[in-house]
Amino acid sequence: MEEIKFHNSISSITKDSWNKLVPEDDYPFLKYEFLELLEKTNCVGKDTGWHPAHILIERNSIPIGAMPLYIKTDSSGEFVFDYSWANAFYQNGLDYYPKLVSSIPFTPASGPRILCDEGESPDKIFSLVLSGVKKLSEENNISSWHVLFPEESDLSIFKNKSLSIRKNAQFIWFNENFSSFEEFLETFRSRHRKNVNKEREKIISQGIEIQTFSGSELNQNLMMSFYEFYLSTQLKRSGHLGYLTKEFFETCLDKIKENIVLVLARDKKLDALIGGSMFFKDNKNLYGRYWGCSEEYDCLHFECCYYQGIDFAIKNKLQRFDPGVQGEHKIKRGFKPTLTYSAHWISEPNFKNAIEDFVNKEEKHIGAYVKATSKYLPFKDL
């Protein structure tokens, strides 16, 4: 007999129980160590809008399936925008929050969401999870459940359970077995190739040196230098401290060093670090996540956040580089418009029908957007 259990902290689940369910491709954001790190460093939990409620499915007290789950009291840090849905609820005298989200906080990176033990059926695990979510929602007046950035291969499971499928687009770089950045640039039309080379040459002409660190090359001093850039840039842009706390940067190397890549820029004249970017990686993918600088330098953002990421992916034979959401300027730098997905369960039947209609209409616009923006890719054969 299966049991459905909700946990208000990943720490109430053993590391081995959770990690044995995580796929072997080492997707970093579902690892026990990463989710625990978010909790231990107060990136999620009290006063953050993200309250853990992770689902574990057990048979005879043995974990056979799981999904990440958070109770959300706002829509911050999700990157699948549903503010119009919340407004529609309120205009009809209903509360949209709290809601449930199966996602990685602050991380719009597609990956596994249904975790299964070997030999277990994802469809069955999801059915059990859905029944638990419905019960939890009914008992706590929760409006909805949202599975954000799942893999395309799981969409049929969500559809079969009558969840509404929403599409969006991000710009992703794909490695076509390139041996070098130069070989990648050879796929560009001449004008676009020259533009990229000019941007990279500006880094050299400003006397900036770029260094990349990963795994055992990382140390606490490097992480704290980057944190200062991250904090400064967050304050300038939004006036808040950012999603990640100082404690996160202080302790992340103890937990997930093997998944972190740090790009740092040094002004050789000043002999001082001036900015950089932070990536995560697994066996197949690179994920661009955070950026910061002390001063504005021409093209530094492009170099640290895009070109260095592409270069790292090529050198390490990674298949994809996901630099994060939005930013049509990525297209001319070789990032292809690519569909991403989310799945939505709405407790109120009338709103379920309205949202189903919304996502169906929106899908046509997303398809047209991907087609239109693809015309601006820089490649010779397009």
Tokens of 183: 């070989």
Angle between helices 349-374 and 83-91 (to 10 degrees): 150
Residue 226: partners with Cβ closer than 8 Å, 6 or more residues away: 249, 262, 264, 276, 278, 290, 292
- 158 and 193 within one domain: no
pLDDT per residue over 368-377, tens digit each?
999 999 999 9
Residues of the domain holding 74: 2-169+338-374
Dig out the tokens for 67 from the structure.
Answer: 């999904």
pLDDT at 261: 98
Task: Specify the residue for token string 């925008």.
Answer: 81
* Coil, strand or helix at 188: strand
Same domain, 253 and 345: no
Same domain flag for 258 and 367: no
pLDDT of residue 241: 83
Q: Is 153 found in the same domain as 225?
A: no
Confidence class for position 260, pLDDT limits 50, 70, 90: very high
Distance separating alpha carbons of residues 199 and 188, to the nearest angstrom: 15
Of how many residues is the chain composed?
382
Structure tokens at 351: 């709103």
Query: Closest Cα partner for 337 from 369, 305, 301?
Result: 369
From CA 354, how far away is CA 84, in angstroms rounded? Answer: 12
Nearby residues of 322 by Cβ (< 8 Å), 6 or more positions away: 109, 110, 170, 172, 173, 285, 286, 287, 288
Residue 240, pLDDT score:
80
Q: Is residue 382 scored above 70 in pLDDT?
A: no
Is 151 in the same domain as 297?
Answer: no
Residue with tokens 């996602």: 103
User: What CATH number has the domain bearing residue 120?
Assistant: 3.40.630.30
Least confident of 98-102, 152-156, 240-244: 240-244
pLDDT tens figures, 303-328: 999 999 999 999 999 999 999 988 89
Residue range 243-266: average pLDDT? Answer: 97
Both tokens assigned to 339: 């569909």
For residue 381, the model assigns a pLDDT of: 78
pLDDT at res. 236: 83
Span 335-341, mean pLDDT?
Answer: 97
- Within a domain: 381: no
* Per-residue confidence (pLDDT) for residue 24, from 0 to 100: 77
Q: Which two tokens stand for residue 166?
A: 């929403």
In terms of domains, do 158 and 127 share one? Answer: yes
Based on the fold, state whether residues 311 and 358 are members of the same structural domain.
Answer: no
**109 is a domain residue:** yes
Asked whether residue 154 is domain-assigned, the answer is: yes
Q: Answer yes or no: is pLDDT of 77 > 90.
A: yes
Whole-number pLDDT of residue 122: 97
Claim to verify: residue 154 and residue 22 sit in the same structural domain = yes
Q: What percent of the chain has pLDDT over 70?
A: 100
CA distances from 281 to 30, 89, 128, 137, 227 (A): 12, 38, 31, 35, 19
Question: Domains in the chain: how many in total?
Answer: 2
Question: What are the pLDDT digits (tens) for 198-236?
Answer: 999 999 999 999 999 999 999 999 999 999 999 998 888
pLDDT given at position 129? 98
Give the pLDDT score at 169.
Answer: 96
Two structure tokens written together for 3: 């049991």
- Tell me the pLDDT of the chain averaged across its residues: 96
Whether residue 10 lies inside any domain: the answer is yes
Q: 151 and 21, same structural domain? A: yes
User: What pLDDT was estimated at residue 238?
Assistant: 78
Tell me whether residue 66 is in a domain: yes
Average pLDDT over residues 342-355: 95
Do both 199 and 109 map to the same domain? no
| pLDDT band at residue 25 under the 50/70/90 scheme | confident
Q: What's the mean pLDDT in 353-375?
A: 96
Q: Are residues 145 and 228 in the same domain?
A: no
pLDDT score recorded for residue 70: 98
Q: Is residue 43 part of a domain?
A: yes
Closest CA to 147 of 128, 134, 131, 166: 166
- Band (252; pLDDT cuts 50, 70, 90): very high
% the chain with pLDDT above 90: 93
**Does residue 112 sit in the same domain as residue 256?**
no
